[in-house]
Amino acid sequence: MKKSIMFMLINMNVGGTEKALLNMISEMPKEKFDITILMLEEYGGFLGSIPSDVKVEYLTGYKNIKEILKRPLHVTAIDLLIKGQFIKALIMTFLYFISKIKKERSLFYKYILREFPVVKNEYDIAVAYAGPMDFISYFIAHKIKAKKKIQWIHFDITKIGFNKYFAAKVYNKFDQIFVVSKEAKNKLISSLPILKYRTEEFLNIISPKVIHNQAKESGGFQDNFEGLRILTVGRLSIEKGQDLAIKVLARLIKEGYKVKWYCVGEGDAREQYEDLIERHSLKDNFILLGTNPNPYPYIKQCDIYVQPSRYEGYCVTLMEARCLNKPILTTEVNGTKEQIKNEETGLIVCIDENEIYKALKKLIVNKELRNKFEKNLSIETIEPGVEMQKLIKLLKTIEN
Region 210-214: mean pLDDT is: 91
- Which residues, listed in sequence order, are joined to residue 123 by a DSSP beta bridge? 146
Q: Are residues 292 and 256 in the same domain?
A: yes
Q: How far apart are CA 145 and CA 114, in angstroms?
A: 16
Region 187-211: mean pLDDT is: 91
Residue 189, pLDDT > 90, answer yes
Rg (CA), the chain: 23
For residue 244, tell me if it sits in a domain.
yes
Banded pLDDT at 383 (limits 50, 70, 90)? confident
Q: Are residues 213 and 184 in the same domain?
A: no
For residue 266, tell me if it sits in a domain.
yes
For residue 259, tell me if it sits in a domain.
yes
Q: Are residues 326 and 240 in the same domain?
A: yes
Q: How far apart are CA 331 and CA 212, in angstroms?
A: 25
Q: Are residues 285 and 312 in the same domain?
A: yes
pTM of the model: 0.87
- Domain around 179: 3-61+116-205+385-399
Q: Are residues 154 and 243 in the same domain?
A: no
Residue 37 contacts residue 9 (beta carbons within 8 Å): yes
Q: Identify the weakest region by mean pLDDT among 19-33, 240-254, 308-322, 344-358.
A: 19-33
Q: Are residues 391 and 364 in the same domain?
A: no
- Give, in degrees to the nearest 5, the angle at Cα 107 between 105 and 88: 100
Region 218-223: mean pLDDT is: 91
Q: Are residues 148 and 124 in the same domain?
A: yes
Which pLDDT belongs to residue 207?
A: 83
Which pLDDT belongs to residue 337?
A: 93
Residue 389, pLDDT > 90, answer no
Residue 370, pLDDT > 80, answer yes
Q: Are residues 352 and 307 in the same domain?
A: yes
Q: Are residues 123 and 266 in the same domain?
A: no
Q: How far apart are CA 126 and CA 144, in angstroms?
A: 7
Which residues make Cβ contacts (< 8 Å) with residue 330, sequence separation at least 6? 306, 307, 308, 309, 315, 318, 336, 340, 346, 347, 348, 349
Q: Are residues 321 and 246 in the same domain?
A: yes
CATH code for position 256: 3.40.50.2000
Q: Are residues 244 and 172 in the same domain?
A: no
Which pLDDT belongs to residue 131?
A: 61
- Chain centroid, CA 173 distance in Å: 23
Residue 400, pLDDT > 70, answer no
Banded pLDDT at 205 (limits 50, 70, 90)? confident
Which pLDDT belongs to residue 306?
A: 98
Banded pLDDT at 54 (limits 50, 70, 90)? very high
For residue 97, tell me if it sits in a domain.
no
For residue 95, tell me if it sits in a domain.
no
Domains identified in the chain, total number = 2
Residue 87, pLDDT > 90, answer yes
For residue 374, tell me if it sits in a domain.
yes
Residue 264, pLDDT > 90, answer yes
Region 6-23: mean pLDDT is: 91
For residue 373, tell me if it sits in a domain.
yes
Q: Are residues 298 and 191 in the same domain?
A: no
Q: How far apart are CA 396 and CA 195, in angstroms?
A: 22
Percent of the chain with pLDDT over 70: 98
Cα-based distances in Å from 21 to 33, 293, 294: 14, 14, 15
> Comparing C-alpha atoms, which of 149, 133, 152, 171 is closest to residue 314?
152
Q: How far apart are CA 148 and CA 126, in angstroms?
A: 6
Q: How far apart are CA 257 and CA 252, in angstroms?
A: 6
> Comparing C-alpha atoms, which of 151, 145, 219, 143 is closest to residue 185?
151
Residue 256, pLDDT > 70, answer yes
The per-residue pLDDT of the chain, averaged, comes to: 93
For residue 88, tell me if it sits in a domain.
no
